[in-house]
Amino acid sequence: MTQVISHLINGEIVNDNNRSQEVFNPATGEATKKVALASKQTVEQAISAAQAAFPAWRNTPPIKRARVMFRFKELLEQNSDKICQLIGEEHGKISHDAAGELQRGIENVEYACGAPELLKGEHSKNVGPNIDSWSEFQPLGVVAGITPFNFPAMVPMWMFPLAIVCGNTFILKPSERDPSSTLFIAQLLKEAGLPDGVMNVVNGDKEAVDTLLSDERIKAVSFVGSTPIAEYIYATANANGKRCQALGGAKNHAIVMPDADMDNAVNQLLGAAFGSSGERCMALSVAVTVGDEAGDALVAKMTEGMKSLSVGEHSNANNDFGPVITKAHQEKVNGYIASAAEQGATLVVDGRNPTVEGFENGYFVGATLIDNVTSTMDSYQAEIFGPVLQVIRVKTMQEAMQLINDHEYGNGTCIFTRDGEAARYFSDNIQVGMVGINVPLPVPVSYHSFGGWKRSLFGDLHAYGPDGVRFYTKRKTITQRWPSSGVREGVSFAFPS
């Protein structure tokens, strides 16, 4: 009998006998499970459970909320092998990559363990005669997260640990492509001692999403996914009076300067471009080489380095990356590779249709290198989200920076150079939210915040870190005075100063 992945509502697994869809192992192309797609009524049931749990959780001292997170962190570490296996079976991510994803998620849990410090607020004594003033950060209420397939463990942990320690209750709508690890992690949170109803998981599609966006009991929505959906989420949430942060797509460029340590740059680009099959919003998908000498050297060394890369199934740690998520996405990536060649680019290494022995029906795309790409090509304009590195050749650093600044996305970027002046100028003037200097994947650590510029982020606050605390709380400022006993004060119509 096919296993059905259901919902976690008020601490219990809920089967709503609504619609369902198949969950595939992308390495084999076989449907292995089904996932329930929540109806409007099921999502409303989860919201009601979260709303009922909010008053008691709001009034739970932050130190007690943090203790739940400490226990949760231990359970995540104890169950890491099972979590990584679930990720591999449904996403296709190689075991070492899944372990890295989980570790970055755990680091966000560690940050959330600091709730008593994060929520202390501010205090000023004697702002006026015998008048004290202070600010405190109060929870919003019921909040929601909508997360993508490419990081089923990490991205949800960008959201719910902070939201929960700040005193909110949470509804998570994970990707229906790979829901098992996300649901298992939520069950670990219950095992850590989180009261029922504080964390709820509803699996589903647009019906579930639209219910979350329209229900007035949801006070804030956090989203990570493609830009068209991010725009829709942000506009709809705002139209319904909700706070919203919606992280969208990317086209991340690395400038390779003539003075770069080319061997180091190539090694860094191999992992940054092809790791996780390029299905990362921070994947480096474009190398912009300054001068033909740098371009020739990069292409030659990349071509040689790519010969040793191995694409295959998740449980073999000798593989470098696995399949893409679906058959349709495999065809889409292959289509962009074909279009680049048709539009005049040079297909240096063609990764289409690799042979993976024993997994001939898997959704595999091999590492692909395309040279002489131009900014007008379809493959450059789009976020391919596959193991494809495109090379654009320019004459100057200014031309390279202009190319990046002109692109509609502004998520991440990097420069490879030994020149401190060039690096400083680049970091000061590039119009991108996350910048690396000889660091190809400049993903901020948990105590900073993650987010791009331009059409890579809709909303004012970035994800996790200090911005995450501000997103999941609202400031209240209190001004207090106790007049001396027996003193009658006169009426004043002037604005207080």
> Please, are residues 313 and 362 in contact by the beta-carbon 8 Å criterion?
yes
Whether residue 497 has pLDDT greater than 80: no
Residue 173 tokens, joined: 């709508």
Q: Which residues contact 356 (CB under 8 A, 6 or more apart)?
A: 27, 311, 312, 313, 362, 364
Active site residues: 281
> Please, are residues 27 and 314 in contact by the beta-carbon 8 Å criterion?
yes
Domain positions in the chain: 3-248+456-478, 252-437
Whether residue 61 has pLDDT greater than 90: yes
Tens digits of residue pLDDT in 135-149:
999 999 999 999 999
What's the whole-number mean pLDDT along residues 350-368? Answer: 96
- DSSP, collapsed to helix, strand or coil, labels residue 4 as strand
Q: Which residues contact 42 (CB under 8 A, 6 or more apart)?
A: 7, 9, 14, 16, 18, 202, 204, 208
Nearest CA-CA partner of 413 in 284, 272, 291, 289: 284
Res 130: pLDDT? 87
For the chain, percent of residues with pLDDT exceeding 70? 100
> Please, are residues 387 and 94 in contact by the beta-carbon 8 Å criterion?
no
> Please, are residues 14 and 50 in contact by the beta-carbon 8 Å criterion?
no
Residues 289, 268: Cα–Cα separation, whole Å: 15
If 0-12 CB within 10 Å is exposed, 13-18 middle and 19+ buried, where does residue 453 land?
middle
Res 13: pLDDT? 96
- DSSP, collapsed to helix, strand or coil, labels residue 242 as coil
> Please, are residues 370 and 345 in contact by the beta-carbon 8 Å criterion?
yes
Tens digits of residue pLDDT in 360-382:
999 999 999 999 999 999 999 99
- DSSP, collapsed to helix, strand or coil, labels residue 172 as strand
Local structure of residue 450 (DSSP, 8 states): B
Local structure of residue 377 (DSSP, 8 states): S
What's the whole-number mean pLDDT along residues 36-47? Answer: 97
Interior/surface letters 189-215, b for 16+ CB within 10 angstroms, e for the rest? bbebebeebbbbbbbbeeebbebbbeb
What's the whole-number mean pLDDT along residues 202-223? Answer: 97
Residues 404, 255: Cα–Cα separation, whole Å: 9
Residues 293, 390: Cα–Cα separation, whole Å: 17
pLDDT band at 496 (very low <50, low <70, confident <90, very high): confident
Residues 84, 89: Cα–Cα separation, whole Å: 9
Local structure of residue 430 (DSSP, 8 states): -
Tens digits of residue pLDDT in 101-135:
999 999 999 999 999 999 999 999 999 888 999 99
Res 238: pLDDT? 97
Whether residue 494 has pLDDT greater than 90: no
Res 315: pLDDT? 94
What CATH architecture does domain 252-437 belong to?
3-Layer(aba) Sandwich (3.40)
Q: What are the residues facing 5 on neighbouring strands?
A: 35
Nearest CA-CA partner of 348 in 413, 273, 408: 273
For the chain, percent of residues with pLDDT exceeding 90? 95
Residues 60, 58: Cα–Cα separation, whole Å: 6
Res 129: pLDDT? 85
pLDDT band at 275 (very low <50, low <70, confident <90, very high): very high
Res 493: pLDDT? 86
Tens digits of residue pLDDT in 294-343:
999 999 999 999 999 999 999 999 999 999 999 999 999 999 999 999 99
Res 484: pLDDT? 78
Average pLDDT for the chain: 96
Residues 452, 397: Cα–Cα separation, whole Å: 22
Whether residue 487 has pLDDT greater than 80: no
Q: What class is the 3-248+456-478 domain?
A: alpha beta
Res 17: pLDDT? 81
pLDDT band at 46 (very low <50, low <70, confident <90, very high): very high
Res 69: pLDDT? 98
Tens digits of residue pLDDT in 157-191:
999 999 999 999 999 999 999 999 999 999 999 99
What's the whole-number mean pLDDT along residues 248-255? Answer: 96
What's the whole-number mean pLDDT along residues 5-16? Answer: 96
pLDDT band at 482 (very low <50, low <70, confident <90, very high): confident
